[in-house]
Amino acid sequence: MQVLTNKRVLLGVTGSIAAYKAADLVRRLREAGAEVRVVMTRGATEFVTPMTFQALSGKPVHLHLLDTEAEAGMGHIELARWADVILVAPASADFLARLTQGRADDLLAAVCLAGGRTPLAVAPAMNAQMWASAATQENVRLLGQRGVLRLGPDEGEQACGEVGAGRLLSAEAMILQLAQLFAPGSLSGRTVLVSAGPTREAIDPVRYLSNHSSGKMGFSIAAAAVEAGARVVLVAGPVVLPTPDRVERTDVISAMEMHDVILNQAKEADIFISTAAVADYRPALALDEKLKKDDSRLKLDLLPNPDILAAVKQQFPRLFCVGFAAETQHLADYAQQKLHKKGIDMVAANWVGPAAKATGGAFGSDENALHLFWCGGELELEQASKDKLARQLVSVIAQRYVLHERPDSDSEGNKVINIKR
Ligand SMILES: Cc1cc2nc3c(=O)[nH]c(=O)nc-3n(C[C@H](O)[C@H](O)[C@H](O)COP(=O)(O)O)c2cc1C
């Protein structure tokens, strides 16, 4: 199946004994529809000749960084810009160490560093002891935290005669995982429940307590989840926004109403994305008649509202739950606390109030920036339109959801994808 049609894969080959398998990988990538360019480290050329990769990719092989002719042609920055994904397969222990350190002393390392937001995937291949070493494990843990996708390694008999983890993952498994990065239907067949907007807590028939949430982020996320192939149920507080195409919307007013509707809808959901700014308190008594003004001091007796996100996670522990943390200070600390206290799967944190002014503000603004946290990892999504940010967020949620569903995912929460065939 041509799962990588029109995708540009920059394949980095390093000095592992598995380098010969990369030749077959090039062929398979092209069969899957991808355009492939190969960068080889000097170490890799000791194992396989550039000629092999040139013949299989149909393109010149890139070897040197400090070479005037090479730089004048397709230099390291251009190579990084060209790629839709950079895949280093096999990735040697040494290369993983250099990648972790942010070195740029050869062409492949420089391209990876210059890749910016281009997805970077590494497929480690090495002796089982090298793989198990504390240094390599620490390196891959750090790379995972930085959002580097790790493919494998597989377990089994090794070239050196040992048996254990360190074999290069199969080409088919790598291609399937790369395809998932681009899959437009990455949430197809899933039901995503989204809450959005503020809630209003009635004081009397004409007055209420509320907040400045516009609901835009939640509505953009609902639209992005539809784009990603999901059935989307949106539970919205009082907002003035049109319903995104193909989204099933239920409107609510108060936190208690939102609580009941969401707990009911959660039964059918696979993923819950809680963007609503639910009021923490409600008046203990909502008056039936309008409160008359007089000159005396007025005290409002407030009751805490239920924590909807925590209640959902408690009742439906298998549901993948994403919370939002809007903070005016200590963003990372508060987000991490929320993650652990509520036992949820991901927190998307953003600044609000005066702190948000510098970045364009969250409430009501069309732009935002998000800092995502999950157990053992984090990712910053730069300032962008809420629509663009929503697509990026949904894509990260889809990737993390796959790991959540698959029991053999890494306990560190790294993006480890191990398909055994
Ligand atoms: C015969 C031989 C096989 C090797 N196989 C591997 C391997 O499978 N994985 C690995 O990480 N290093 C392996 N090495 C060590 C790397 O080639 C070495 O660390 C080299 O510096 C890697 O450079 P590069 O990552 O820039 O290509 C091997 C070395 C030799 C001599």
Lowest mean pLDDT among 174-183, 270-279, 309-318, 335-344: 174-183
d(CA 357, CA 350): 12
- Determine if ligand 1 sits within 6 Å of the CB of residue 369: no
Cβ atoms of 272 and 193 within 8 Å: the answer is yes
How many degrees, rounded to 5, is the angle at CA 227 between CA 279 and CA 275?
A: 10
- Cα(19) to centroid(ligand 1), Å: 9
What is the end-to-end Cα distance of the chain in Å, rounded?
16
- For the residues 202-215, what does the mean pLDDT come to? 94
- Cα(277) to centroid(ligand 1), Å: 52
- Determine if ligand 1 sits within 6 Å of the CB of residue 308: no
* pLDDT tens, position by position, 289-320: 999 988 999 999 999 999 999 999 999 999 99
- Determine if ligand 1 sits within 6 Å of the CB of residue 125: yes
* pLDDT tens, position by position, 384-411: 888 889 999 998 999 888 777 654 444 3
Secondary structure of the chain: what % helix, strand, coil (to 5)?
35, 25, 40
Backbone angles phi, psi at 244, to 5 degrees: -60, 150
- Determine if ligand 1 sits within 6 Å of the CB of residue 99: no
Give the per-residue pLDDT at 323. Answer: 96
* Probe target for ligand 1 pocket from 47, 92, 107, 136, with the most ligand atoms within 8 Å of CB: 92
Lowest mean pLDDT among 66-80, 139-153, 303-317, 403-417: 403-417
* pLDDT tens, position by position, 18-61: 999 999 999 999 999 999 999 999 999 999 999 999 999 999 99
- Determine if ligand 1 sits within 6 Å of the CB of residue 20: no
Average model confidence (pLDDT) across the chain:
89
Residue in 37, 10, 276, 18 with CA at minimum distance from that of residue 130: 18
- Determine if ligand 1 sits within 6 Å of the CB of residue 44: yes
Looking at the CA of residue 98, tell me the nearest atom of ligand 1.
Answer: 25
- Cα(281) to centroid(ligand 1), Å: 61
- Cα(301) to centroid(ligand 1), Å: 69
- Cα(15) to centroid(ligand 1), Å: 4
Our answer to whether residue 112 is catalytic in this structure is no
- Determine if ligand 1 sits within 6 Å of the CB of residue 48: no
* pLDDT tens, position by position, 335-379: 999 999 999 999 999 887 665 555 555 555 777 889 999 988 888
* pLDDT tens, position by position, 214-256: 999 999 999 999 888 889 999 999 999 999 988 999 999 999 9
d(CA 101, CA 114): 14
Q: No. of H helices and E strands in the chain?
A: 16, 20
d(CA 18, CA 47): 9
d(CA 8, CA 380): 24
Closest residue by Cα to atom 19, ligand 1, is: 94
Give the per-residue pLDDT at 289. Answer: 94
d(CA 295, CA 95): 74
d(CA 397, CA 405): 12
Write down all domains in the chain, each with its CATH number in brackets: 8-182 (3.40.50.1950), 191-400 (3.40.50.10300)
Give the per-residue pLDDT at 407. Answer: 45
- List of E strands, 104-241: 120-124, 149-151, 154-157, 163-167, 191-196, 201-202, 208-209, 231-236
d(CA 104, CA 82): 18
pTM across the whole model: 0.55
Closest residue by Cα to atom 14, ligand 1, is: 16
- Cα(128) to centroid(ligand 1), Å: 13
- Determine if ligand 1 sits within 6 Å of the CB of residue 16: yes
